[in-house]
Amino acid sequence: MDYKKFDLLNPTETHQMLRDSIKDFVQKEVEPQAHAFDKKENFNLQLYKKTGELGLLGLTVPENYGGAGLDASAVCLVHEELSASDPGFCLAYLAHALLCVNNLAVNGSEAQKQKYLPKLSSGEFVGSMAMSEPDYGTDVLGMQTTAVKKGDKYIINGRKMWITNGTIDEKKTPCDVVWLYAKTGEKNGRSQISTFIVEKGDPGFYVGQKITDKLGMRASNTAELVFENCEVPMDRLVGQEGDSMMHMMRNLEIERIGLAAMGLGIARRSLEIMNKYANERQAFGKSLSSFGQIQKYIAESYAEYKAASAYVYDTARKMDLNYEGNRLDSDGAKLIATTMSKNVADRAIQVLGGYGYVAEYTVERLWRDAKLLEIGGGTLEAHQKNITRDLAKSGL
List pLDDT tens digits, range 357-391.
Answer: 999 999 999 999 999 999 999 999 999 999 999 99
Domain assignment present for 312: yes
Asked if residue 221 lies in contact with residue 283, where contact means CB atoms within 8 angstroms, the answer is no
**Which ranges of 281-362 would DSSP assign to H, the alpha helix?**
292-317, 327-352
Task: Answer with the one of 227, 243, 259 that is the final residue of a domain.
Answer: 243
Q: Supply the mean pLDDT for the chain.
A: 95
174 φ/ψ angles, rounded to the nearest 5 degrees: -65, 155
Q: Cα 93–312–376 angle (5° rounding)?
A: 45
- Domain match, 221 and 256 both: no
Domain assignment present for 85: yes
Domain assignment present for 218: yes
Provide mean pLDDT across the span 275-286: 96
Q: Cα 90–162–58 angle (5° rounding)?
A: 35
- Domain match, 236 and 253 both: no
Residue 17: which domain range?
Answer: 13-125
pLDDT band at 5 (very low <50, low <70, confident <90, very high): low
Asked if residue 117 lies in contact with residue 104, where contact means CB atoms within 8 angstroms, the answer is yes
Domain assignment present for 82: yes
Each residue of 115-132: pLDDT tens digit?
999 999 999 999 999 999
Q: Which of 111-125, 225-239, 311-325 has the lowest mean pLDDT?
A: 311-325
Q: Is the pLDDT of residue 25 over 70?
A: yes
> Which residue of the set 81, 133, 253, 255 is catalytic?
255
- Domain match, 63 and 93 both: yes
Q: What is the number of alpha carbons within 13 Å of residue 371 lying toward its C-beta?
A: 11
- C-alpha separations of 180 from 99, 104, 256, 311 in Å: 10, 11, 19, 31
Read off the CATH number of the domain in which 373 is found: 1.20.140.10
- Domain match, 48 and 89 both: yes
Q: How many domains would you assign to the chain?
A: 3
pLDDT band at 1 (very low <50, low <70, confident <90, very high): very low
- Domain match, 22 and 153 both: no
How many Å separate Cα 136 from the centre of its chain?
20
**Separation between Cα atoms, residue 178 and residue 133, nearest integer Å:** 14
Quickly count: other Cβ atoms within 10 Å of residue 320's Cβ. Answer: 13
Q: Is the pLDDT of residue 137 over 80?
A: no
Task: Answer with the one of 78, 98, 125 that is the final residue of a domain.
Answer: 125
- Domain match, 253 and 376 both: yes
- Domain match, 387 and 295 both: yes
Read off the CATH number of the domain in which 55 is found: 1.10.540.10
Domain assignment present for 350: yes
Each residue of 184-206: pLDDT tens digit?
998 877 889 999 999 999 999 99
- Domain match, 197 and 314 both: no
**Separation between Cα atoms, residue 90 and residue 259, nearest integer Å:** 9
* Residue (of 135, 117, 138, 143) closest to 59 by Cα position: 117
Q: Is the pLDDT of residue 4 over 60?
A: no
* Residue (of 172, 395, 376) closest to 258 by Cα position: 376
pLDDT for position 28:
98
Output b/e per residue, 10-40; b: 16+ Cβ within 10 A.
bbeeebeebbeebeebbeebbeebbeebbee
Q: Is the pLDDT of residue 99 over 50?
A: yes
- C-alpha separations of 178 from 99, 222, 298 in Å: 10, 13, 42
Each residue of 140-178: pLDDT tens digit?
878 999 999 999 999 999 999 999 999 999 999 999 999
pLDDT for position 73:
97
> Burial level of 1, CB count in 10 A (0-12/13-18/19+)?
exposed
Output b/e per residue, 354-363; b: 16+ Cβ within 10 A.
eebeeeebbb
255 classed as catalytic: yes
How many Å separate Cα 262 from the centre of its chain?
8
Q: What is the number of alpha carbons within 13 Å of residue 293 lying toward its C-beta?
A: 5
Please report, as a single letter, which amino acid is at residue 168. Answer: I
pLDDT for position 324:
64
User: For residue 175, what is the DSSP state?
Assistant: P
Asked if residue 160 lies in contact with residue 144, where contact means CB atoms within 8 angstroms, the answer is no
- Domain match, 357 and 336 both: yes
Domain assignment present for 6: no
Q: What is the number of alpha carbons within 13 Å of residue 323 lying toward its C-beta?
A: 5
How many Å separate Cα 113 from the centre of its chain?
21
Each residue of 78-97: pLDDT tens digit?
999 999 999 999 999 999 99
Q: Cα 130–163–199 angle (5° rounding)?
A: 55
* Residue (of 245, 285, 45) closest to 131 by Cα position: 245
Domain assignment present for 3: no
How many Å separate Cα 172 from the centre of its chain?
21
Task: Answer with the one of 65, 99, 125 that is the final residue of a domain.
Answer: 125
Domain assignment present for 343: yes
